[in-house]
Amino acid sequence: MSKPVRTRIAPSPTGDPHVGTGWMGLINMTLARQHGGQFILRIDDTDRGRYRAGSEQVIFDSLRWLGIEWDEGPDKGGPHGPYRQSERTGIYREHTQKLIELGKAYRCFCTRERVDELKAAQLERKERTRYDGHCRDLDPGEVESKLAAGTEHVVRLEMPAEGSVVVQDLLRGEIELKQDNFQDQVLMKADGFPTYHLASCVDDHLFEISHIIRAEEWISSAAIHKVLFDGFGWEMPILCHMPLLRNKDKSKISKRLNPTSLLYYRDAGYLPQGLTNFLGLMGWGGPKLEDGTNQEIFTGDEMRQHFELETLSLGGPIFDLDKLRYVNGQHMRRLPVEEYARLVKEYVLSDRLLAGIAPLLQERTETLGEFAVKADFFLGDVSHVSPETRKKKDPKDWEPVEKLVPSKRTREETWFALTIAQGALEQVEPWTVAALEPACRALATEEETGWRAGDLFMSLRVCVTGKSETPGLFDCMAQLGKPRCLARIGDALQVLGSPSKKAIARWEKSRRQRGGD
């Protein structure tokens, strides 16, 4: 390659890091290591409305657990810092002014009310919603007058009014993005913070990034980024849009069908080398063997030695938990017995874990031998169907475990109630007893689920513990942690089975009438 390889990921500190972030990190790090280049971690924290304190450290910890290490970043520094976008706002303002001077961007003084009215009118006419360029050709004198008066405004990028934008993609070749899908994109918000598009392009240039490797959902934004790079007169990095990870039903990976938090896999006892091996299989398949097949089980060093970015398949790789368990098991069996014993002790009998569980179980055990039986749902997996039932191929034939569906309630009603609960619990921060209890009690209302607290809490208890008798529900949830609780609710929803589209539509209508969101 003609220039040094410098790759990056730019996660947002808005919650638990997604397994897709781990996948992108693995691919970007592997390419950089292959070519003796650098891998950079940049924090995209310009969306202050969604920012969550503490998420940045969680990103650091979970990526490092996975074995992903960066050469430059917020916690390491480097020659291109700062590495938090919120600390680079002065840089973005300077570049915004440069674009305005070059005639590539303009100040837009349209109020939120006007933009909303424009959108409503376009929807009524069944047109694509987009900004109409009202301020694009304002008289310079009017602009200066509004600025002098302190009129609130944003800065927009001038996108082509006709034709198309063509970008080159390492995996997909030439991609033509047509003008019909463009609008004059906001670059600088009224609060003085840049949008993702401006901050990302400016940083990728100033950080000397050679390859932008990201998910295919960003293809539609590639035209904006190409116009920005061209507007500044910069060379655009090599683009590589990766296929999206998919559920078994080929839908985009989601919390509904798969745990998506990296923390879940750490807390559920997966080995980092097992998860990285599994992620390495996604789209690539593993090192080629002499007989033409792929080596399925491999180490990080073997991946770095044999990985070829250009050979990735564009077919959406299936994130199959059964396959992950198999791969992880293979790495388990490769461990020396002493190492396996150490890891089991660290996972099951760590001082941190025991300190959290002991107060919950001390009043519920008569002998020390009972501890393991009563603590099993803290230490291992939970199944919402019996092993005999799970042997049936069709999930519709699976019978949920005890009291997951309360008496006088149906599987369908339980699915609806737990779906509402799952959505509400995703928003709970911090994940503490003090925050969980009011959030759950708010769900046991006519407006939300229409369920009494007793029935709803029993279903939640069985979801997260697999048992109907445990220490306090909120104590158990707090100790288990958010990723595992949400994953177990998701497992229960799969066992219950999704209702028909007509049933879901009726439920949504009924909930709106009750006053639920």
In angstroms, the CA 285 to CA 307 distance is 9
Say yes or no to pLDDT of 316 above 80.
yes
354 and 401, same domain (yes or no): no
Say yes or no to pLDDT of 1 above 60.
no
Token pair in block for residue 142:
């009017």
Strand partners, 261: 18
371 and 425, same domain (yes or no): no
* 236 falls within a domain: yes
Burial of 89 (0-12, 13-18, 19+ CB in 10 A): middle
Tell me which of 43-57, 88-102, 229-243, 331-345 is least confident.
Answer: 43-57
The torsion of the CA quartet 53, 56, 62, 65, rounded to 10 degrees, works out to -130
* 83 falls within a domain: no
353 and 415, same domain (yes or no): no
Which pLDDT value is given to residue 217? 93
In angstroms, the CA 269 to CA 454 distance is 32
93 and 231, same domain (yes or no): yes
As a whole number, the mean pLDDT across the chain is 92
403 annotated active-site: no
352 and 394, same domain (yes or no): no
Q: What is the mean pLDDT of residues 310-330?
A: 94
In angstroms, the CA 194 to CA 154 distance is 10
Strand partners, 167: 175
Cα dihedral 17, 19, 21, 27 sign: positive
Other residues' Cβ atoms within 10 Å of the Cβ of residue 43: 23
Q: What is the mean pLDDT of residues 9-16?
A: 91
Chain segment 337-364, per-residue pLDDT in tens: 999 999 999 998 889 999 999 999 999 9
DSSP string, 136-172: TT--HHHHHHHHHTT---EEEE---SSSEEEEEETTT
In angstroms, the CA 272 to CA 324 distance is 11
Domain end position, chosen among 180, 207, 242: 242
> If DSSP states are collapsed to H, E and C, what string results for 424-478?
HHCCCCCCCHHHHHHHHHHHCCCCCCCCCHHHHHHHHHHHHHCCCCCCCHHHHHH
Report the percent of the chain where pLDDT is more than 70. Answer: 96
Which pLDDT value is given to residue 516? 60
Q: What is the mean pLDDT of residues 376-393?
A: 78
Which pLDDT value is given to residue 244? 93
* 356 falls within a domain: yes
Domain count, the chain: 3
Domain end position, chosen among 242, 264, 284: 242
Which pLDDT value is given to residue 345? 92
DSSP string, 359-410: HHHGGG-SSTTHHHHHTHHHHS---SB-HHHHTSSSGGGPPBPTTSS-TT--
* 329 falls within a domain: no
Token pair in block for residue 38:
């650098």
Q: What is the mean pLDDT of residues 465-487?
A: 94
Say yes or no to pLDDT of 260 above 60.
yes
501 and 416, same domain (yes or no): yes
- Secondary element (H or E) of residue 270: none
139 and 201, same domain (yes or no): yes
Token pair in block for residue 451:
């369920």
Pairing of strands 164-169, 173-178: antiparallel
- For tokens 């092993």, name the residue: 387
Are the C-beta atoms of 426 and 255 separated by less than 8 Å? yes
421 and 345, same domain (yes or no): no
Which pLDDT value is given to residue 383? 82
In angstroms, the CA 95 to CA 157 distance is 12
Which pLDDT band holds residue 276 (cuts at 50, 70, 90)?
very high
Which pLDDT band holds residue 387 (cuts at 50, 70, 90)?
low
- Phi, psi angle pair for 186, to nearest 5°: -70, 130
* 57 falls within a domain: no
Token pair in block for residue 354:
């025991």
Q: What is the mean pLDDT of residues 126-130?
A: 91
In angstroms, the CA 148 to CA 109 distance is 13
Pairing of strands 186-188, 154-157: antiparallel
Which pLDDT value is given to residue 226? 97
Q: Active site residue: 146, 226, 248, 255, which one? A: 255
Q: What is the CATH number of the domain that holds 211?
A: 3.40.50.620
* 175 falls within a domain: yes
In angstroms, the CA 168 to CA 257 distance is 34
* 180 falls within a domain: yes
Domain end position, chosen among 380, 410, 445: 380
371 and 441, same domain (yes or no): no
Q: What is the CATH number of the domain that holds 433?
A: 1.10.10.350
Say yes or no to pLDDT of 23 above 70.
yes
212 and 123, same domain (yes or no): yes
Which pLDDT band holds residue 2 (cuts at 50, 70, 90)?
low
420 and 470, same domain (yes or no): yes
* 195 falls within a domain: yes
Tell me which of 1-5, 83-87, 103-107, 388-392 is least confident.
Answer: 388-392
413 and 509, same domain (yes or no): yes
Token pair in block for residue 67:
């074995």
Q: Domain span at residue 228?
A: 88-242
Say yes or no to pLDDT of 115 above 70.
yes
pTM exceeding 0.85: yes
Which pLDDT band holds residue 515 (cuts at 50, 70, 90)?
low
Burial of 427 (0-12, 13-18, 19+ CB in 10 A): exposed
